[in-house]
Every structure is written in structure tokens, then in C-alpha cells.
Amino acid sequence: MKPRSESLELRILRSLNARMELTPNDQTYFSNLEKGFRGEQEFDKWIESLANSRLILHDLLLEYNHTLLQVDSFVIDMDKVYLFEVKNFEGDYYIEEDRWHSLSKNEIKNPLLQLQRNESLMRRLLQDLGFPFPIMSYVIFINPEFHLYNCPPNLSIIFPTQLQRFIGRLAKSPSILKDTHSNLAAKLLSTHLTDSPYSRLPKYHFDQLKKGIPCPHCKRMYSSIIKNALVCHSCNTLEPYHHAILRNVEEYRMLFPHLKLTTNQNTYLV
């Protein structure tokens, strides 16, 4: 019922990355967002099969009691709802008491704490909305290159090697939806916030950005035009000129929503 799309924050960072030097911190933040988004898309393919008899809402951003609640995937089943938090971690990690570390000893945020917090917020929200469904919540590790040492079997985690069976079991369980379920979905969609007020974008200014039209695939600037097409010499992409111009105008509007598009900014386009 709600497809996933890139956040405005991710789209702006992609554009800035092609047009300015991001600081190492911003670069890390940006690549984590990209990686997270790819992981979520991967999980979407897995749960597609559930859509016949369940409602799926991707990437919900809700507010409850002045607290933000972000849900990667939310599935409404006949007698319960599922809340999925997708992690695209790669490499070896271990748990020591409640703390999570990478093998290089860096402590990372415990994803189960985030899940518990989200589940508790969602429970109160559903109660307030008048849909007190039981909630099943899971952290999904989507990357087959992920391993977790010292993990007890009773945690709400689905590993890549369990995903097939987990989704298979879910798909087999009967689910008949009624109006209540659609009403719940509609209610959640109507309270969905479009953009996270907590985005961490670097400061940028028109004058400081590299001008030109970046190739949509490799993000390097086009350097030549043949007939009516722009040509990327790095990855051999050909794009009709008018198409690239429109794309650039859109990008300009996204980066500078408060600036007027005038002919003075032509330097931006060519």
C-alpha cells in the first residue's frame, strides 16, 4: 500500500556527492544511508509474496507523543501486525551482555533496543487509534556476509539463512483481511510524515557546487555532446539532451527549493 522511495535526504546527498567534496563523516553517513536503502529494497523483494493477503507499508515515519517512530516495513496480518527493522550489516559482530561490537571492537548501537523502543511506541499508537493488534517485531539481517557471535536463539532476529523459512511460514499462514485492516492502514498513512526533521545534511551553497550535468549512472559530469545526446566517457551512458536538462532542473529545485530558477542559473545547467 505504500511503496518505498529514497528519502529526500538520500537524494540530496547523492547530488551533493557529485558536486562537492563531502567530509569523511558526511561520506560515511551517506554510504550508510545508501547501504541501508539497498538492504531495505532487498527485503521488499522477500515480502512481496505476502501482499496477496496482507497489507504492506514500507518506510513509515510516524510521531507519537513528540517521539519519532520509523518503521522499515510494516505488515498487517489478519490477527496481528509485523514490524520489521532491516539491517544491511556486513562482517563479523559479537554480543557481550547487551552490547554489540564489530570484531574490530567498535561498539555499535544495539538494534534490538531500537526495535523494542519502536514496538512499545507502536503498541501505544495502535491502542490510541483503536486498533489494539498484537505486534510481532523482528530485526532482519539481510546481508549474507553478516555473522553474529554469541547470539542466544531466543532473540527477535532473523538471519539471512533463516529468511526463506521465515517468509515461507508466514506466507502459508491463513490471512483474511476485513475493513478494519484497511482502516488501520489508511489511518497510519494519513499520519505518515513525509520528511524526517532530523536529517543531517551538510551546509551547501550554490556558488560552491560543481556545475554541469552529472551522468545518472556513474555521477561524473558529462563532458561532450553528440547530436542530441550527452555522452559519458566514463561509463558510456548516452542520454537525450532535453531529458538531462529536465533532470537537472528537478535536481536544482530539490537542492534549492527557496531559490527561483532564473536564466542566471544557466551556468548550473550546462
Closer CB to Zn ion, 121 or 215, in the complex: 215
- Asked whether 117 and 141 are in contact (CB, 8 A), the reply is no
Cell of 28: 560515511
Complex with Zn ion: residue 176 or 226, whichever CB lies closer:
226
Binding site for Zn ion (CB under 5 A): 215, 217-218, 232, 234-235, 237
Q: How far is the CB of 152 from Zn ion (least distance, A)?
A: 47
Comparing CB distances to Zn ion, the nearer of 200 and 217 is: 217
Helix boundaries (H) for 57-211: 111-129, 160-172, 179-191
Integer-rounded Cα radius of gyration of the chain:
22
Of 173 and 234, nearer to Zn ion (C-beta) is 234
CB 54 within 8 A of CB 75: yes
Closest distance of CB 94 from Zn ion, Å: 40
Q: Grid coordinates standing for 11?
A: 537524494
- Taking Cα atoms as reference points, which of 159, 49, 65, 163 lies closest to residue 120? 65
Nearest-approach distance from CB 58 to Zn ion, in angstroms: 29
CB of 96 to Zn ion, least distance (A): 45
- Which residue's CB is nearer to Zn ion, number 232 or number 244? 232
Please, what is the minimum distance in Å from the beta carbon of residue 223 to Zn ion?
A: 10
| Nearest residue to 97 (alpha-carbon basis) of 115, 86, 110, 87 | 110
Q: How far is residue 185's CA from residue 183's CA, in Å, rounded to a whole number?
A: 5
